[in-house]
Amino acid sequence: MSFLTENGITMASDSKVTYFPDFRVDNNLDFKKTNYYDDLKFGLSIWGKLKIKKVWFWKWFDNIKKSYFKKKSSEIDQFPDYLADKLNVLNMQIHTGIHLAFYKEFEDQMRPVIYHITNKRPNYKFIAQPDCNPLGNNQSFLLINGTYEPFSDAYIFLKKYILKVRKKFLEAKQNHPNLLEANRTLKSKLKKECEYVISTIRQYQAIMEMTGVKKIIGEPINAICFNKEGLVKEYSKIHFF
């Protein structure tokens, strides 16, 4: 799950992998599916297959990253297409994908963007989809994988509810000046957004378990949040119980 706002970018993932069509579930307690690369200031999160031709994804990715960025002229906004091309050469017959998020200059402003490099289509061909390029002013964008619907629909209603709650408390502040936190920084807001995303994953997990579905979402949860300056906070191996 990836979440973009004016405050920054949050990316989070659980530690399970579900293989279709037989719904075989693997626990990968020591494998982080979300990482931040400080040298290039981008975040990357994966879903689906954890190995690329029997090589662990991060080892494969590090080699691809080095080969692309060895030229100082290499632009990060061309990297998603490069990744898709490298994956297509492997002819992988299993659905998988990558969230790649970073900041890019638009009209003299550094804005959050996110690409979804995935082959979830009939011919298994990888395409770098610019799902949010860039984030609109004062907007938010949520990218979910796994059981996309109905959770994506739930966020639409939740977003309206969040705005409604905030409006209510802003109105109440007139009579209760100390009701809202004072001096909140962009970084502190971003951390709260990251904690919200982590709790949302837990909520989805609880909904699945409550309805009797096999536990295909599970701890530990790993998450990162960053802005145009760099990493703000990393949350590692979070367990709910």
Task: Quote the DSSP letter at residue 77.
Answer: G
d(CA 1, CA 24): 21
For residues 27-32, give the mean pLDDT.
70
Q: How many CB atoms lie within 10 A of CB 119?
A: 20
Q: What is the pLDDT of residues 82-131, one digit of tens each?
A: 999 999 999 888 788 999 999 999 999 999 999 999 998 788 899 999 99
Asked if residue 71 lies in contact with residue 88, where contact means CB atoms within 8 angstroms, the answer is no
Query: Which amino acid does the sequence have at 51?
Result: K
Q: What is the pLDDT of residues 159-177, one digit of tens each?
A: 787 788 878 877 877 777 7
Give the CATH number of domain 2-238; options: 3.30.420.40, 3.60.20.10, 3.20.20.70, 3.30.413.10: 3.60.20.10
Q: What is residue 9's predicted lDDT score, i.e. its pLDDT?
A: 98
Q: What is residue 87's predicted lDDT score, i.e. its pLDDT?
A: 94
Q: What is residue 155's predicted lDDT score, i.e. its pLDDT?
A: 72
Residue position matching structure tokens 């109440």? 172
Residue 149 predicted with pLDDT over 70? no
For residues 23-51, give the mean pLDDT.
84
Sequence-distant (6+) residues with CB within 8 A of 179 are 169, 172, 173
For the chain, the domains span 2-238
- 105 HSE (CA, 13 A, CB side): 3
Q: What is the pLDDT of residues 3-28, one digit of tens each?
A: 999 999 999 998 877 665 555 666 66
Strand blocks (E) in 38-84? 42-47, 51-52, 55-56
146, two tokens:
């796994």
Q: What is residue 15's predicted lDDT score, i.e. its pLDDT?
A: 82
5 or 209, greater pLDDT: 5
Question: How far apart, in Å, are the Cα atoms of 117 and each of 16, 46, 84, 99, 187?
Answer: 20, 9, 6, 7, 28
Asked if residue 194 lies in contact with residue 223, where contact means CB atoms within 8 angstroms, the answer is yes
Longest dimension (CA), the chain: 63
